[in-house]
Amino acid sequence: MVKAIYPGSFDPMTKGHLDIIQRSSKLFDEVIMAVVGNPGKSPLLPVEKRKELMSAALKDLNGVTVDSFQGLTVDYAKQNNVTILIRGLRAISDFEAELGMAQANKELFPELETIFLMSKAEYSFISSSTVKEIARLGGDVSKFVPPAVNDYLKQHFSRGTK
Ligand code: COA
């Protein structure tokens, strides 16, 4: 059984992330979509809320589970018998950072293979930050995020929370 992890901040999950996880679920027996608490970022959503919104978006997808962890991705992978790490590539600009991460992870855990899936063109410009900025300024992000995320952002920013 091949077990994969798709780690990220997912603050919040977008349709770009959803596309990657849907395609990954067809390639591997089990895929864990894992929220990583990244100390370098100031998140809008608490980890538990991010997981809740991801679970809602993924409820009809077989073989996908949602989790979170702190610390190294390779340690989580070792502890959970994960041998594949999935990342999405939206543009050339993603490549350099992703290559560095893949190489570092390979040094730390040689059995872990990083697999890159190319984002669909229609999602290649979406990022969580873009979505948050549009929503914060009153724009419509329903095209870019799953319905539960859209509802959350609308409610959050209508409370006047910037
Ligand atoms: N569709 C839409 N957006 C996408 C996307 C896709 N397919 N792929 C990436 N993005 C966006 C994200 O929305 C995010 O946007 P933001 O910066 O506006 O929030 C951005 O690209 C970065 O993606 P993310 O998945 O959040 O990556 P990251 O760079 O924050 O974190 C981790 C990458 C979590 C995998 C990495 O930091 C990690 O493994 N951390 C654990 C600690 C560790 O092991 N460190 C050593 C790594 S070598």
The pLDDT of residue 161: 56
Instruction: Spell out the domain ranges in the chain.
Output: 3-124
H helices of 4-146, in order, are 15-27, 47-57, 73-79, 92-108, 128-136
- What SS3 class is residue 66? strand
Instruction: List the structure tokens of 68.
Output: 């979170």
The atom of ligand 1 lying closest to the CA of 119 is 7
3-124: CATH topology: Rossmann fold (3.40.50)
Å from CA of 118 to ligand 1 middle: 15
Determine if the pTM surpasses 0.85: yes
Catalytic residue among 15, 17, 132, 156: 17
pLDDT tens profile 20-67: 999 999 999 999 999 998 777 789 999 999 999 999 999 999 999 999
The atom of ligand 1 lying closest to the CA of 131 is 18
**Active-site residue flag, 41:** yes
Å from CA of 36 to ligand 1 middle: 9
